[in-house]
Amino acid sequence: MTAQHPIHTVTLAFTGASGMPYGMRLLECLLQSGKTVWLLYSQAAQVVAQQEMGLNLPASAGACQTALCERFQVSDGRLRVFGKDEWFAPPASGTNPADAMIICPASMGVVAAVAHGTSDHLIERAADVALKERRPLVIVPREAPFSSLHLENLLKLSQAGAVILPPSPGFYHHPQNIGDMIDFVVARILDQLRIPHTLMKKWGEK
């Protein structure tokens, strides 16, 4: 499912899969491009953020919003953070969905829940809304190897219209460090939503 209209507001979800550097870099790039971001994160994502980046994501959505707005130097109107049980948050309803949603990184648990339409918290509900409202949904699954169940669930989501974009960096652009490899994946995500960026040259450009 590709974007058919301008993207102004993006729901971004962090789950408990490994790959938080992708999610944080994506958040930074979305804000730098002038988009409004509605951020959702799970309790497991807090653990991953601390383990992989030494980053403290406060349990309180309000405290997290304040901390991230300060980190990225944006107003709280540009970055809104919602707790997993905030069922009155905008992304929980098809009457006020974001223009697109990205789950990065996406755990296999969340993938399974979305594939089967069982919404136990706001991340899963927001993805369900994106699918039913035919809004772009990009899922960045971080697992290796995939089991048959994982593959079946990802296939279900692809057939429902989601874009399945594993964080598999290429090497043809000669990455010099980990940051270059992260940017490769983030660039591919932004490309799916047709959001301009300068993270890497497009194929064929000199």
Binding-site residues, please?
16-18, 42, 142, 172, 188
Which DSSP state fits 124? H
Which tokens sit at 79? 């970055």
Annotated binding site for dimethylallyl phosphate: 172, 188
Residue 103 · residue 140 · CB < 8 Å: yes
Per-residue 3-state assignment (H helix, E strand, C coil) for 5-74: CCCCEEEEEECCCCCHHHHHHHHHHHHHCCCEEEEEECHHHHHHHHHHHCCCCCCCHHHHHHHHHHHHCC
Annotated binding site for FMN: 16-18, 42, 142
